[in-house]
Amino acid sequence: MQDAVTALIGRYDISGRYFDRDALDTLKSYFESGTTRVQAAAVITSNAAGIVKEAGLRLFDELPELIQPGGNAYTTRRYAACLRDMDYYLRYASYALVAGDKDVLDERVLEGLRDTYNSLGVPIGPTVQGIQIMKDLVRAQVIEAGIDAKGFLDEPFDYLSRQLSEQNI
């Protein structure tokens, strides 16, 4: 698992170069946004259960067929599994937010998810929709907390959605 700094150092180390102006600007931007990243993650952490619950309610309101007989979230066990997965995405999005790097999402979420969802026949569209609903809820709560994180807040959620959408799962 990497953060923005480790990833940048790794790229320059592999090519045997000193930091150039672009690298220094990237580092400066990351460090300047550090407090804001941590504040946004704190909002997510303190509201995680509510975010997941509300995202689930909205998702199932928009796609009621998921909780009807034959739907992927039909039965208490499947419904709980869906909310568990949403919580998983939210937690790892908060890690990526603080790290300023998507590596944790690739390593800890996306790699194992492909095989799991394939074997279970889980549809990807509702998963992506749930992630986007959580993004909207997080954004509203971060704004309400007076935190200006618009430059990077959506990144982990959009990355998860984009990567899942591009996969054949």
What does the pLDDT look like over 52-109, one tens digit per residue? 999 999 999 999 999 999 999 999 999 999 999 999 999 999 999 999 999 999 998 9
Confidence of residue 167 (pLDDT cuts 50, 70, 90): low
* 37 is an annotated ligand-binding site residue: no
Q: Is 77 annotated as a binding residue?
A: yes
- d(CA 133, CA 6) in angstroms, rounded, equals 31
pTM: predicted TM-score of the whole model, two decimal places:
0.90
| Beta carbons of 150 and 37 less than 8 angstroms apart | no
Domain ranges of the chain: 1-32, 34-166
Q: Are 36 and 147 in contact (CB under 8 A)?
A: yes
Query: Which CATH topology does 34-166 take?
Result: Globin-like (1.10.490)
Contact predicate 101/59, CB 8 Å: no
Residues 154 and 97: beta-carbon distance below 8 Å = no
Minimum mean pLDDT range among 16-20, 75-79, 117-121, 138-142: 117-121
> Are 35 and 43 contacting, i.e. CB atoms less than 8 angstroms apart?
no
Residue predicted with more confidence, 113 or 166? 113
Q: Give the integer Cα–Cα distance in Å for 24 and 21.
A: 5
**Distance from C-alpha of 2 to C-alpha of 79, rounded to nearest angstrom:** 33
Say if residue 119's pLDDT is above 50. Answer: yes
- Is 118 one of the annotated binding-site residues? no
